[in-house]
Structure 1
Amino acid sequence: MPSGVPIRFEGVSKHFGSVQAVNDLSFTVEPGRVTGFLGPNGAGKTTSLRMLLGLVRPTSGSATFDGTAYRDLERPLETVGAALEAASFHPGRSARNHLNVYAIAAGLSATRVDRVLDQVGLTQYADRRVGGYSLGMRQRLGLANALLGDPGVLVLDEPVNGLDPEGIRWIRGFLREMAAEGRTVLVSSHLLSEVQQSVDDVVILAKGRLVHRGPLTSLGAESTVRTTVDSPDRAALRAALSETGHRFEETAEGFVVLDVGATEVGRTAHLARVPLSALHAQQSGLEDRFLALVNGEGLR
């Protein structure tokens, strides 16, 4: 089973002319954990990942895989699997053909192609031209490409972009599985809500600077649950929530129930025989803390 190695950013800065895209970035991503690389669009995340993968030269500092630059890895595809947001594929080729080309070029076994297609759920679409793929399917193909060498390190840029709810749920489980196998997983996103159910650690950038790093729990344990629920019969749902004493607010999206999880709200509706059209919960405290950091509060 592949084992991961630490990813190390040490004093990394990058200037594009007078624009400072990344400023003195230092952090370590440990094996066996999923690390969320977070920040708003334009924060410097993609530039940082491109420096890590040798696609952009840092102005100063180094980004390495346990001290080895990507360009110096002996078998890079078997050490690092990467899928950048801007990945593109020839529209006239099938997914299988695309992966076969990369496998041959890297000297990998052809059996890996079928394996990764199965891993990302593309087997039944493997011989369809990529030009007919949805954005979510292209995201899965990019992930399959990253997995070809069965690497110990995964670097993924906005992997849930374009995925439907089922796909997002799948990739969350997939990331956890990869980390459980001892791999190093670094995944970028501009939204904490997209990754908070799958990451162990967070590294947060704002305007090219590191503003927070640590376990997800370090963002603050004082989070409150807010459950959004809706029904075709809002009057009946309103009555059911009132009868149980739940505190709630009515919005355009339905009812926001305070300090009660989705399971309990769903149970309330079930007992009252109220059909539901929406039910989801959010840890609002974490998201609020994240937004405060990227907006300059608590910058360090």
Structure 2
Amino acid sequence: MPTGTPITIDHLTKRYGAVAAVDDVSFTAHPGRVTGFLGPNGAGKTTTLRVLLGLARATSGTATFGGTAYAALDDPARRVGASLSSDVFHPGRSGRDHLRVLQLAAGLERDRIDAVLQRVGMTDAADRRVGGYSLGMRQRLGLAAALLGDPGTLVLDEPINGLDPAGITWIRVFLRELAAEGRTILLSSHVLSEVSQTVDDVVVIARGRIVMAGALAELSAGAVARVRVDAADRSALASAIAAAGGVVETPTAGPLVVTGLDADGVGRAALAAAIPLTLLTPLSDDLESVFLRLTSEHPDPDARPASSAEVAA
């Protein structure tokens, strides 16, 4: 069974002229776990992955697999598998032929082609031209290519992007299976909700800088408990909640939303004020809201935006 190696990004900086696409980034992705590298488009995710895979040169810092740069790995196809784009395939070539080219270039066993096609559920479509594939099929073909050498470590850029619900469910299960085999999996996404049921750890980047890194549970801890409540006399209800220490968010219309008290506390405040409730529903700030708050709270350190020639995803 393949054994993953830690992916270590250590004080990595990549500048394009005056703009730091990646600014002093550090984190580690561990074997047996799925690490989500999350941030909005343009945050620096793809630049980091390109440096990690030797496709771009760091301005400073390092990006390594078990302490070794990708370019220095022995037999890298058997150590690291990567999928950075779903549009790198020749449209006139079949899926099988695409994998055949990669297999020959890497000096891998030919029977790996059928093995990975079967594993990603592409056997029946293997001899069709890639130009006729759906986005989901191209994503699966990219995963098949990454798995050709049966590597212990996988680097995947936006592997869930654009998939339909069935495709998202499939890839979630698939990535969890790969991690359970002891592989190190680092995947990027700009939408937390797409990967929240897949990842163990999260690294959130905004404007080239890490704003949060840790277990998914730590991100969940940032969620704010809220309560939706209503009564015929909303004004009196709002006063009672405020007197009990709650904070009332008063919408333009509709029920009140309360923070600072749980549902039991809101109910007790209403009872003490003899206010009959028509609605009492506990809410929770979802992870996507926490993610958006994290990425919006950190101002751009550069005075001017990157040009199209300087920008890195």
Scaled to the shorter chain, the TM-score interval is 0.7 to 0.9
Once residues 175 and 163 of structure 1 are traced to their aligned partners in structure 2, the CA distance between those partners, rounded to angstroms, is: 15
Structure 1 window deviating more from structure 2 (216-225 vs 188-197): it is: 216-225
**Match of residue 153 from structure 1:** 153
Match of 1:21 in 2: 21
For residue 124 of structure 2, give the secondary structure of its aligned residue in structure 1.
helix
Deviation at 1:110, TM superposition (A): 1.0
Aligned partner of 1:167 in structure 2 is 167
Change (3 A) 1:120 1:224: farther
Q: Take 1:138 and 1:285, find their aligned partners in 2: how far apart are those partners?
A: 31
Q: Secondary structure at the match of 2:286?
A: helix
CA displacement, residues 156-209 of structure 1 (integer Å, 9 cap, x when unaligned): 000011221111000000111111110000010001100000100000000000
One-letter identity of the residue aligned with 1:9: I
CA contact (8 A) 2:24 2:209 kept: yes
Q: Does 1:96 align with 2:131?
A: no
Flag the 1:62–1:87 CA change in 2: closer, same or farther, 3 A: farther
Letter aligned with residue 174 of structure 1: F
Whole-Å separation in 2 of the counterparts to 1:74 and 1:290: 38
Q: Deviations over 1:39-73 (max 9, x none)?
A: 00000000000000000000000000011000000
Partner residue in 2 for 1:210: 210
Q: Is the 8 A contact 1:3 1:152 kept in 2?
A: yes
Residue 138 (structure 1) aligns with = 138
Amino acid at match of 2:2: P
Is the CA contact 2:86–2:138 (under 8 Å) kept in the aligned structure 1?
no
Alignment-derived partner of residue 293 in structure 2: 292
State how far apart, in whole Å, the 1-side matches of 2:284 and 2:87 are. Answer: 32
Specify the SS of the correspondent of 1:125: coil
Scaled by the length of structure 1, the TM-score of the pair is 0.78
Give 1:239's aligned residue: none
Partners of 1:118 and 1:150 in 2: CA distance: 13
The answer on 1:64 being equivalent to 2:69 is no
Amino acid at match of 2:66: D
User: How far off is 1:85 after superposition?
Assistant: 2.6
Shift of 1:220: 3.1
Who is 2:46 aligned against? 46
Does the aligned pair in 1 maintain the 2:34–2:201 contact within 8 Å? yes
SS at match of 1:115: helix
Alpha-carbon distance in structure 2 between the residues aligned to 1:81 and 1:87: 17
Asked whether the 8 Å contact 1:224–1:285 carries over to 2, the reply is no
Q: Report the Cα offset of residue 285 of structure 1.
A: 2.9
Q: Which residue does 1:4 correspond to in 2?
A: 4
Match of 2:255 in 1: none
Q: SS of the residue aligned with 2:85?
A: coil
Is the Cα–Cα contact under 8 Å of residues 86 and 139 in structure 2 kept in the other structure? no
> Does the aligned pair in 1 maintain the 2:9–2:64 contact within 8 Å?
yes
Match of 1:74 in 2: 74
Q: Distance in 2 between matches of 1:84 and 1:46?
A: 8
- The correspondence of residues 246-265 of structure 1 with structure 2, limited to 5 A, is none
TM-score by structure 2 length?
Answer: 0.75
One-letter amino acid matched to 1:109: E
Q: Is the 8 A contact 2:86 2:135 kept in 1?
A: no
The 1-side partners of 2:98 and 2:85 are apart by 18
Partner AA of 2:135 in structure 1: L
Asked whether the equivalents of residues 152 and 182 of structure 1 are also in contact (C-alpha less than 8 Å), the reply is: yes
What do the CA deviations read for 1:273-296 (whole angstroms, capped 9, x no partner)? xxxxxxxxx974322211111001
Q: Which runs of no fewer than 5 residues in structure 2 stay unpaired?
A: 228-261, 263-282, 301-313
Larger radius of gyration: 2
Q: Is the 8 A contact 2:38 2:192 kept in 1?
A: yes
- Cα offsets for 1:94-134 (capped at 9, x unmatched): 00011011112211111110111111111110000111111
Contact 2:14 2:20 in 1 (8 A): yes
Mapped to 1, the partners of 2:90 and 2:137 lie a distance apart of 14
Aligned length: 245
Q: Does 1:120 align with 2:109?
A: no
Aligned-partner Cα distance in 2 for 1:86–1:22: 23
Q: Distance between the aligned counterparts of 1:225 and 1:78, measured in 2?
A: 49
SS in structure 2 at match of 1:145: helix
Distance in 2 between the 1:45 and 1:283 partners?
A: 28
> Structure 1's 225 and 122: CA in aligned 2 closer, same or farther, altered over 3 A?
farther
Contact 2:160–2:171 at 8 Å: present in 1 too?
yes
SS across alignment from 1:123: coil
What is the Cα-based RMSD across aligned positions, in Å? 2.1
| Distance in structure 2 (CA, Å) of the matches to 1:132 and 1:225 | 47
Cα separation, partners in 2 of 1:132 and 1:225, compared to 1, 3 Å:
farther
Shift of 1:92: 1.0
